[in-house]
Structure 1
């Protein structure tokens, strides 16, 4: 017969292991948070965090942890509107946000191709991305989001290889005032100066840039 103390000790060890596993950042991405509303990120953003383009769910893998954390907090506070993400973000604890965004930032992601701003432009989307439309106070996208739309730091996320449906949706959200979570409403001013055709064109340009191999 197993002594009672040994049985209790074994149970406590298993409980401790389970607690550690539940707190692992990767598990929040795959299994969700501790609250019922905090569903698993992978359900919409894919097992690899690379997004689901046909549905317009963006890539999260490889994005800055600081940027992702800010977006989740903004969903909670209402400065970024989404009927899906707002209740989900509200159900995550601050520790869970920190954990899952750290895990996402470390996941393999494609690197944007090198794109020269001096190349001959062949489409409206490419022209806006590389040249802008300064006569309407629209700077070129790569001036803030980096060469090839690769993203810069925690303030300017990658545009390259994000779903066109997602990029267009965000530009339209800024145009309509449904998204207000960037400094001085920079993107709101830019998006409002763009036509619907330009929004679609620039979104398709960045979505179709050929990615380089995922960084391991």
Structure 2
């Protein structure tokens, strides 16, 4: 039989070895992953993770860890296409994806105002966001993405404050079928019912929501 003290020592050694090899999400975010192709997230998404609107790079800070993890896994598998993110995600290990997803979820992010269907809806973008277009079976965005586009759970990410170019780009990708990694292709159905002008309008609406004053 192995003495208790030896068993305890072996267990502690295994614990510390495992800890030494655990992925560091903050390091992945600021410096990149262990593989050369896994560049630092902040290079495109900003040191605070709030995105770079001028370049169309979205906010990652405060997004659900489950949502971020799924997107990285989809980039890695090819289920979601992007020439920048696909090779980067392929260079990340499972542990690094898990760690950086949790790090991003814990980063502070602005809280959008609680705009719901009862809020005034002036303009095309506001009407789509708050009222939808039910004659075309298009629900209002806040039904799934939460009041003010705050995001709900792992399937419906925040919309408020994301760059308009990014939001429009994703809607157009769903519209033309180049993005199809959401549950039951819900967004594909919605985006195909929208005109290019409506896509631009609703993307602008969410991009301009003022989290300080509670006004779009």
Pairwise TM-score range, normalised by the shorter structure: 0.7 to 0.9
1:103 counterpart = 2:113: no
The 1:43–1:70 alpha-carbon spacing in structure 2 relative to 1, beyond 3 Å, is: same
What is the alpha-carbon distance in structure 1 between the residues aligned to residue 54 and residue 142 of structure 2? Answer: 25
In structure 2, how many angstroms separate the alpha carbons of the residues matched to 1:87 and 1:24?
20
1:193 alignment partner in structure 2:
193
Query: Pairwise CA RMSD of aligned residues?
Result: 1.8
Shift of 1:20: 4.5
Normalising by structure 2, we get a TM-score of 0.87
Residue 22 of structure 1: CA displacement? 8.5
The aligned runs of 1:11-22 (5 Å cut-off) are 20=20
Asked if the contact 1:21–1:27 (Cα under 8 Å) also holds between the matched residues in 2, the reply is: no
Paired residues of 1:152 and 1:158 also in contact (CA < 8 A):
yes
How far residue 112 of structure 1 moved from its aligned partner, in angstroms, is 1.1
Kindly state the Cα deviation for residue 52 of structure 1 after the two structures are TM-superposed.
Answer: 0.1
What do residues 36-91 of structure 1 show as CA deviations (whole Å, max 9, x unaligned)?
10000000000000000010000000000000000001111112110000000011
Q: Which residue of 2 aligns with 1:127?
A: 127
Distance 1:77 1:195 in 2: 30
**Cα distance in 1 between the residues matched to 2:185 and 2:162:** 22
Check 1:120–1:23 CA distance in 2 against 1; reply closer, same or farther (3 A cut).
closer
Q: What CA deviation, in whole Å up to 9, does each residue of 1:123-144 have, x standing for no partner? A: 1000000000011111100000
1:46 aligns with 2:46: yes
Hey, what's the Cα distance between the residues in 1 that align with 2:119 and 2:109? 26
**Conserved? CA contact 1:133–1:140, under 8 Å:** yes
Which structure 2 residues correspond to residues 1-216 of structure 1 after superposition, within 5 A? 20=20, 23-212=23-212
**Counterpart Cα distance in 1 of 2:190 and 2:23:** 40
SS in 2 for 1:100: helix
Deviations for 1:133-186, whole angstroms, at most 9, x for unmatched residues?
011111100000000000001110000000000000000000111111011110
Alignment match, 2:7: none
Q: CA–CA distance in 1 between the matches of 2:78 and 2:36? A: 20
Aligned length: 197
Indicate the SS of the match to 1:173. helix
Match of 2:13 in 1: none
Kindly state the Cα deviation for residue 212 of structure 1 after the two structures are TM-superposed.
Answer: 4.1
Any stretches of 5+ residues in structure 2 without a counterpart? 1-15
Contact 1:63 1:157 in 2 (8 A): yes
Q: What residue ranges of structure 1 are gaps of 5+ in the alignment?
A: 1-15
